Amino acid sequence: MSGGLFITLEGGDGVGKSTQAALLEGWLTEQGRTVVRTREPGGTAAGVEIREIVLHHRGDIAPRAEALLYAADRAHHIATVVRPALARGEVVVQDRYIDSSVAYQGAGRVLDAEQIRDLSLWAAEGLVPDLTILLDLDEEAARARLDTSRTRYDRLEAERSDFHARVRSAYLRLADDEPDRFLVVDASRPVEEIAAEIRDRLAARV
């Protein structure tokens, strides 16, 4: 395959997305592909400033304002980083995308999930990933992982367990609705087993 490929990694906080993104980037590079590894929010200089607001702002942010900030980051990021990379035939490996907004702002903040999805798709001019890897882990197990790796939590990580339970349920519903796009992986398994399953899914495409 010589065309671009858009891969996103999703899941709750503490499930291992960054680890798997790094392993996937390394494997794809070994296959001879040029990889752009990025994230939302924060994949651009403007996005870094938005990330600081949505994750580290002291005090409350109204849920709709939070959703709009994520959409603003997404619009700029997709236009300036992701689409150009795909047009060059590169592989984009991205930590979080539209499904995060649907899960976190839609279910977590109890906003209308369809409205959040429509807003995100408008911001991204309709761009949908070729593959979304959902790393699924019980929210209590994910929190235990965070407890061993964080000195402080960001605004979303610090939410109560019922928030994170809603987020996880929303992700699983999204995967059920689009089984051809999603690869759901049990994130409690060893890191290399997870990476191998992801590589197996992608082998024919790269």
pLDDT, averaged in runs of 10, over the chain (206 residues): 85 94 98 97 96 88 95 98 97 98 94 97 98 94 76 72 92 97 97 97 88
Structure tokens belonging to residue 172: 């699983």
* DSSP states of 65-104: HHHHHHHHHHHHHIIIIIHHHHHTTPEEEEE--HHHHIII
Local structure of 205: helix, strand or coil: helix
How far from chain centre, in Å, is Cα 180?
17
Tell me what pLDDT residue 149 has: 66
Whole-angstrom distance, CA of residue 45 vs CA of residue 20:
24
What is 5-205's CATH superfamily? P-loop containing nucleotide triphosphate hydrolases (3.40.50.300)
Whole-angstrom distance, CA of residue 104 vs CA of residue 101:
5
Tell me what pLDDT residue 151 has: 62
Tell me what pLDDT residue 145 has: 80
First CA to last CA across the chain, in angstroms?
A: 6
Tell me what pLDDT residue 161 has: 84
Tell me what pLDDT residue 206 has: 81
